[in-house]
Amino acid sequence: MDIEGMDMEGMDIADMDIADMDIAGMDIENDIEKRFKANRSGHLQTKGRIFDIQRYSIHDGNGIRTIVFLKGCVLRCRWCCNPESQEYAIQTMKVKGEDKIIGRDVTVAEVMETVERDRPYYYRSDGGLTLSGGESLCQPEFAYSLLLTAQAAGIHTALESMGGVPYSVIARILPCLDQYLLDIKHINPQKHRDYTGRDNGLMLENARKIAASGQTELSIRVPVIPGFNDTVAEIEDIARFAGSLPSVKKIHLLPYHRLGQDKYEGLGREYQMKDMEPPTNEHMMELMKAAGRVSGLDCQLGG
């Protein structure tokens, strides 16, 4: 059997059952199918912690998507519209005066039941599954098992992430990831640290490595935050960096909004952005044109 000549992408050899590999009666298609089955049966029981699943979303990836929101993040961005995502711990948040439990532990199999229900929508729209958060890669085993299982089932996979984890975690998921929506918030490390709690060195380095790998469709997403990164010069810096990455085709500018404000109150936390006005449409258009001009990339608002 020519193991070396086989396409082993997306398969975790360590998780395969050697008994499934019928070396004497070689049939590569069956072999691959068996491996996927072996993988799926192993990975279906992987547990993770999520706080929401949104169906029929037309954001966060191509087509119509099911978004799974994982709990936990290493950053503390001042503008975060999902503050209930930041802590890995299960929390209680007041919603319209009622206590709501935020976070539940699930298996990949349980999540896939919901994802599978929307398969007809994926086919019609080229959609699929997107992992979001929080930062999904803070639960690397769960993220990997879920992406691997979905892709092995023929479902398009996407990840919304700022990439602030060791590259080894990212390298492991790339073979089962069709689309990476990578957040880049600022080029200046000190300003990044001041507003998010960490500098951006690891994230920018990972962005270069992901782009160089060529293993996934890579788009850059920039939350446009007043007082943080909303000058033409700051957006141009990010856009120039994005334009320098091989294989990036698109840059998305996402205007700041205040939809998360009530959640801070529900969690008993102060909302530090309460005096900040969202950017105007005119200003967003100006930034979009500037980003497209310096990067040579297709630049769009939202998405």
Report the interface residues with ligand SF4, using CB under 6 A: 73, 75-77, 80, 82, 85-86, 133-135, 162
**CB 152 → ligand SF4: shortest distance, Å?**
28
In terms of Cα–Cα distance, which of 191, 198, 203 is closest to 164?
A: 203
Identity of the residue, 162 or 287, whose beta carbon is nearer to ligand SF4 in the bound complex: 162
**CB 137 → ligand SF4: shortest distance, Å?**
11
Residue 257 near residue 197, CB atoms below 8 Å = no
Q: Indicate the burial class of 52 (C-beta count within 10 angstroms; 0-12, 13-18, 19 or more).
A: middle
**CB 59 → ligand SF4: shortest distance, Å?**
14
In terms of Cα–Cα distance, which of 15, 104, 145, 118 is closest to 58?
A: 118
Tokens of 42: 């192993």
In the block, tokens 């119509």 appear at: 64
**CB 51 → ligand SF4: shortest distance, Å?**
11
Identity of the residue, 182 or 239, whose beta carbon is nearer to ligand SF4 in the bound complex: 182
For the stretch 32-37, contacts whose Cβ atoms lie closer than 8 Å and that sit 24 or more positions apart, written own/partner, are 35/11, 36/11, 36/152
Identity of the residue, 83 or 175, whose beta carbon is nearer to ligand SF4 in the bound complex: 83
Strands 104-107 and 98-102: unpaired
Identity of the residue, 127 or 223, whose beta carbon is nearer to ligand SF4 in the bound complex: 223
In the block, tokens 């919603």 appear at: 95
Identity of the residue, 48 or 134, whose beta carbon is nearer to ligand SF4 in the bound complex: 134
Residues in the chain: 303
**CB 225 → ligand SF4: shortest distance, Å?**
10
Instruction: Answer left, alpha or beta for residue 95, where phi above 0 means left and psi between -120 and 50 means alpha.
Output: beta
Identity of the residue, 77 or 187, whose beta carbon is nearer to ligand SF4 in the bound complex: 77
**CB 95 → ligand SF4: shortest distance, Å?**
18
